[in-house]
Amino acid sequence: MRVVFFGSGEFAVPTLWWLINSHHEIAAVVTQPDRPTGRGKKPQPTPVATKAEEHNLPIERCEDVNAKPFIEKVRSLQADIGVVIAFGQKMSAQLCSVFPSECINLHASLLPKYRGASPISAAILAGETETGITVFRLVDRLDAGPILVQRKTTIEPMETCGELHDRLAGICCDAVDAALKLHQTDTLPPGEQQDESKVVPAPKLKKSDGYLRFDEPANKIALRCRAMWPWPGARCRYLPPEGKPVEVIICSASAIPKNTNAPAGTITDMLSVSTSAGMLEIHSLKPAGKRLMSWQDFVNGRHVKPGHCFESLSD
């Protein structure tokens, strides 16, 4: 099939790579414009643009894909289908109608659960043990189109959002392959309508979503640490008995089903952290301005002792 690929983020790169090496033809790669990043605020291409440039693919950096001149440009490509993944713009019905097979979108959840911008974090935060990839036909409502293909995978007990993101990005390749095969007929595959009663939203994360509260149960705190790594990060503040407080991001932690009488946030004799239910065993964390390190390295470097404590942050 002749494909126009709409993508921007890192999540889309494995699928683009698969398409490059498939028997399908890429008519164009549409991506977001270069954006200023880093300390120097120098404009940088999207990960998708970088991969497309490496393989000399035609690239369209577009601020508004629904503008009439751009829709006509896409129409002139005479492509069969649009493949959309981690693109960053909502696509109009008029743009989708340019393609005989319309547009398909890849989403990192088992829809209708976790519609929205942060499905991977939402699944981990909810304590799910399974997630996956859904390929669906684009419609006007967000992530609401008929389901064409789903692929499931187990969420590992200590897997972070970043680690699961990378695994799911690889699974996308098999899912899009199956979806494109469904379109290699004379009629559009109808797909399966989503059950609206089972919809769970997964809105865009804010920095404050990562703020830890030690008056919550340890198992809930541990889930937040995994769900918020690498962004926005599960943040709190370490309070040494002397010196300045240190803001830290806890990357990985687990719950110990043992209660203590110490106030929430207090470091216990086991060098774990007291919570409202159980204790939090920290495995790795990142102090502000420092590298990611093990809890033991942090304990040794900061001379952490029982009775020291962590406190929650606020805006």
Which residue in the block uniquely carries the two structure tokens 């919809």? 199
DSSP annotation string for 245-293: -EEEEEEEEEEE----SSPTTBB-TTS-EE-SBSEEEEEEEEETTS--E
Is 2-201's fold the same as 207-311's? no
The amino acid that residue 153 corresponds to is: T
All structural domains of the chain with their residue ranges:
2-201, 207-311
Q: Are 103 and 137 in contact (CB under 8 A)?
A: yes
d(C-alpha 271, C-alpha 289), whole Å: 23
Please give the CATH superfamily to which domain 2-201 belongs. Formyl transferase, N-terminal domain (3.40.50.170)
Q: Are 72 and 92 in contact (CB under 8 A)?
A: no
Using one digit for the tens of pLDDT, what is the confidence trace for 233-281? 999 999 998 889 999 999 999 999 999 999 999 999 999 999 999 999 9
Using one digit for the tens of pLDDT, what is the confidence trace for 31-54? 999 999 877 788 999 999 999 999
Percent of the chain residues past pLDDT 70, beyond the cut: 100
Q: Are 183 and 101 in contact (CB under 8 A)?
A: yes
The pTM for the full model equals: 0.96
CATH number of 207-311: 3.10.25.10
Average pLDDT, integer, range 109-129: 98
Q: Are 218 and 275 in contact (CB under 8 A)?
A: yes
